[in-house]
Structure 1
C-alpha cells in the first residue's frame, strides 16, 4: 500500500505549502465554476463566459503593473465587463453576441497594453504567461481569504437565485409570466459569472478558464437527469480534474527534473478526456436528461 502511494504521490507533495495553496484556491475555483457553469451552459452564455475571462486578463495584467492583489485585478475588470455587456444588452437584446465580441476585443486590447507596460516599465517578463495560462504553484497563500470570500459570495448569489434562475434559463417566457424579473436575474447571474471566471483565471489562466467553467458543466448535463444533480456532478468533476491536474503537475517535476509541466495543461487535458469518454454515455442518457429537465421545468412552473 505504501509503495502504491509513493508511486502516485512524489515526495513532499503533502508538506508543500504551494501545493496546499493550489489545492485550496484551485478547488474553490473549480467548485464555483462547476456550479455556475451549469446555468451558463443552459442559458447559452458560454461565449459570454469566455469573453469575461478574456476581459479579466486586462485586470490581471494591470495588477502586475500596479502591484496589487492579482485576484482583485481579475475581479474588478470582469465585473466592469459584465456591467458593460448587460447595460448594452438591455437596449439591443438581439445584438448580444456582437456586443460580447466587442467587449472581448476591448478587454484583450487593454490586456496587451498593460502587458506591454509590465515588460517595459516593470521588467516582469513572466506576466503574460501567468495572466494568460496561470501559474497555480506561484499563487501566494495571502490570496486564500479573498479567494474564499469571492467564491462564497458567488455561491450565495446562485443559491438565492436558484429557482428563478433555473426557470428563466429553461423557460424565460414562462418565468416572465410568473413574475420573475428575468433581466435582473440575468444580470445577477452575469455578476456571479464574473466572480467565477476571476477565480478560474487566477488558477488556470484567462485563456483556459473557459474550460474549467464550461467543460465540467457540459459533461454533467450529458450524464445527469435533473439540473440539480448536474450542478453537484459538475462541481465534483471540476474539483477532481483540478486536484488531479495539481498532482500530475507536481509529479511531472520528477519526470523531467527542474522542468515541471503546467498545471493548467493537465486540468484542461483531464476535462477534455472526460468529455470524450462520456460522449457515448451522454448519448444513452440524452433522452432521460431531457425528460428530467422538462419535469423540473414543470415543477418550477407549478410552484
Structure 2
C-alpha cells in the first residue's frame, strides 16, 4: 500500500506540473517556474510567522502572493530594458535570500526547515495522514495535490481557448479582447500554488523538473496543444512510477530517480521523435541530398 501512495503522490505532482509546464514551455517562460519555486519561500515564512501554524492553506496563499509579486517584478525589470534571464536571476535570488533570512532569524521558534521546503521526501508521504473525525483519510499530501490538480484542470478547462491563444499569439489575443495580462498572472498564480502544494512531497527544486522536462518531451512529440497536454501528463506519470521502482532497485532518492527517468525519456524523444528528433532530421536531410543528387544526374 505504501508503494501505491508514493506513486500516486508523484503522479499527482507530475500531472499538475505537466499541464502548467506546457504553457510555460510554449510561452518560453520555463525558467520562471524555477524562479517562483525559490522566491515563494518568503511567503511561506511570513504566513507561518503570522499564523504560527503550518496550515497548508495559509502557506498556499502566502506562496501564491509571492509568486505573483515575483512575476510582476520580473516583468517590471524586463520592461525597463534588462534582459529576461538577468531579470529572473535577480528577482528569485533576492526573494529567496529574504526567505532564508526570515527563517534563520526566527529559527528558535519556527518549525520550518529549509531542507524540508527545498528537497522534500516523498517516502514519508504515507505516514503524514489526514485524520477527519477520528477517521484516517489517507495521506494529507494526496488530498492537497488532488485538490490542486482539480483546481488547475478546472481553470484550464474553463479558459482553454484563452490560455491557448495567449500562449501562441498574445498580440492576437489582445486584439480580440482577451485580457492577456490577467491570464498571464492567473497562470503564474497556478504555478505558485502547484509549487507549494508539492513542497512536502518532492520539494521545490524537483518540482522545477516536473514543470519543464515532461512538457519539453511532449513538445518534441506533437504540434497540437491538446496532445501535448496529454503526452506531458502521461510522461510525468510514467516518470513517477518508473522512478520509484528505479529508486527501490538502486536504493537511491525517490524524487531524484523520478526526475532522472523523466530526463531519460526526454533524451529518447530528442533523438527518436518522428517530428523533431535528431534521427528524423538526419533522415530528412539525407533524403533531400539524395533527391538533389538524382535531379542533377
Tell me, yes or no, whether TM beats 0.5: yes
2:70 pairs with 1:85: yes
Deviation at 1:24, TM superposition (A): 2.8
Which residue of structure 2 lines up, in the alignment, with residue 235 of structure 1?
233
- Gaps in structure 2 of 5+ consecutive residues: 131-139, 278-297
1:281 is aligned, of 266, 272, 281, to 272
Say whether 1:22 aligns with 2:20.
Answer: no
**Corresponding residue for residue 117 of structure 2:** 131
How far apart, in 2, do the equivalents of 1:118 and 1:248 lie? Answer: 39
Q: Distance in 1 between matches of 2:104 and 2:115?
A: 13
Equivalent residues in 2 for 1:92-131, closer than 5 Å? 94-95=79-80, 97=84, 99-116=87-104, 120-121=108-109, 127-131=113-117
User: 3-state DSSP class of the match of 1:204?
Assistant: coil
- The alpha-carbon deviation at position 118 of structure 1 amounts to 7.1
Contact 1:220 1:230 in 2 (8 A): yes
Once residues 281 and 202 of structure 1 are traced to their aligned partners in structure 2, the CA distance between those partners, rounded to angstroms, is 35
Match of 2:36 in 1: 52
In the aligned structure 2, how far is the partner of 1:164 from the partner of 1:121? Answer: 45
Asked if 2 retains the 8 angstrom alpha-carbon contact of 1:197 and 1:209, the reply is yes
> Counterparts of 1:234 and 1:21 in 2: how far apart (Å)?
21
Match of 1:263 in 2: 254
Matches within 5 A, 1:1-303: 15-16=1-2, 19-58=3-42, 66-69=52-55, 72-73=58-59, 75-88=60-73, 94-95=79-80, 97=84, 99-116=87-104, 120-121=108-109, 127-139=113-125, 140-142=128-130, 143=140, 144-249=142-247, 251-252=248-249, 260-282=251-273, 284-286=274-276
State the TM-score, normalizing by the size of structure 2: 0.76
Question: Hey, what's the Cα distance between the residues in 1 that align with 2:45 and 2:255?
Answer: 18
Contact 1:61 1:131 in 2 (8 A): no
Q: What is the match of residue 295 of structure 1? A: none
- 1:145, distance to aligned residue in structure 2 (A): 2.5
- In the TM superposition, what is the alpha-carbon distance from 1:120 to its structure 2 partner? 4.5
Question: 1:270 deviation in Å?
Answer: 0.6
Distance 1:35 1:90 in 2: 23
Q: Distance in 2 between matches of 1:262 and 1:118?
A: 30
Q: Which one has a bigger Cα radius of gyration?
A: 2
- Asked whether the equivalents of residues 54 and 104 of structure 1 are also in contact (C-alpha less than 8 Å), the reply is yes
Superposition CA RMSD, Å? 2.8
Q: What secondary structure, in the 3-state scheme, does the structure 1 residue paired with 2:9 have?
A: helix
